[in-house]
Amino acid sequence: MSYKVILCLFGLLICMTFQGQDYQFTQFYAAPVNLNPAFTGNTAQSRFVMNYRNQWTAIPGGFVTYNVTYEQFIPQIKSGIGILLNHDRAGSGNLGYTSILGLYSYEFQLNHDLYIRPGVSFGRSFRTLNMNELVFGDQLVRPDGSSSIESLRPPNSAFFDVGSGLLMYSHNYWIGASVGHINKPNESVLGAEAGVPIKFSAHGGYRHMIRKKTNTGGMHSTLAAFNYKAQENYDQFDIGVYYEYSPVVFGLWYRGLPGVKKNGYGVINQDALALLFGYEIKKLKFGYSYDITISPLITSSAGSHEVSFIYEFADPRNNKYSKRKGIIPCARF
């Protein structure tokens, strides 16, 4: 079997395996509005976030994701507003996904230590495909297969996308749920019908404060968190723990559903162990994580790398920003 045939079959296998799934982050709490739009404005005043993920670096045409968000909390109307820019590409044909979404959340205070926050995301998303990088059947059977006789119009897709979420939290715990692609938009790049499946996520956690103020001016705490998400026939469960002694954070995550064979492949439903390190310099937070593959791809994936940068700032002329109590105590990475 020729190298081209093997490469095509391998690419097809990847596409079939991940059909109907969105991009993901191991440090999803460092990309919180991707997880749930109700996190919008969960800061003293303003937050700028950049995320980068390179998944399965040893596999040709792996998944590379870029993410940029800006959020602003407006205390006068108890609301968070923001914008999310995301780009994801995968495969030898560089199947691309780009989204530009607006974000909004509103903060309800039920009592001195209990809050509820609904949120919504809405905007435009795009699918693209580089046809010049694809290999067609006629290229495999002809001696000179440098070009194809296939005549296809330039593929593209643009669609309106809507999501929503809800969070309930106090000073030491949070729990929430979100739903993405509520309108099931058509993402086909060739004019056919290919609806994006609805994505569901349930997440939460608990922070145990050992010491509110350390010698370095930060906090000393431990934290446990989880995230379950499902989309069409695929589901995933992440559970992890953090140890924080400012300015340093260490984390360990497990991703999988052992003993559950919901997807019908006859193998243990588990994906990776993730090691995480975070460091905070004043208003800037830096996070790095490495996913150790424990699925059947363990011998060929070389794991996944992820980096996050978070910059938070507030107007120094207004002390009420820095003293705001309604901030979700979730993980920072």
Read off the amino acid at residue 218.
Answer: G
**Average pLDDT, integer, range 233-244:** 92
Segment 116-138, tens digit of pLDDT: 999 999 999 888 776 666 666 66
**Average pLDDT, integer, range 63-87:** 93
What is the residue extent of each domain of the chain? 3-322
Segment 252-271, tens digit of pLDDT: 999 988 776 655 556 667 88
Query: What are the phi and psi torsion angles at 321 (to 5°)?
Result: -65, -50
Segment 79-110, tens digit of pLDDT: 999 999 999 887 665 678 889 999 999 999 99
* pLDDT at residue 165, as a whole number: 97
Q: Calculate Rg over the CA atoms of the chain.
A: 21
DSSP helix/strand/coil, 84: strand
pTM tops 0.95, yes or no = no
For residue 6, is pLDDT > 50?
no
Output the DSSP codes for 250-302: EEEEEEEETT--TTSSSS-EEEEEEEEEEEEETTEEEEEEEEEE-SGGGGTS-
Segment 147-190, tens digit of pLDDT: 665 655 556 678 899 999 999 999 999 999 999 999 998 877 66
* pLDDT at residue 93, as a whole number: 57
DSSP helix/strand/coil, 321: helix
**Average pLDDT, integer, range 224-235:** 91
For residue 297, is pLDDT > 50?
yes
Read off the amino acid at residue 223.
Answer: L
For residue 59, is pLDDT > 90?
no
Q: Which fold has domain 3-322?
A: Porin (2.40.160)
For residue 224, is pLDDT > 80?
yes
Measured in residues, the chain has a length of 333
| Residue 48 near residue 311, CB atoms below 8 Å | yes
H helices, E strands: number in the chain: 4, 15
* pLDDT at residue 149, as a whole number: 59
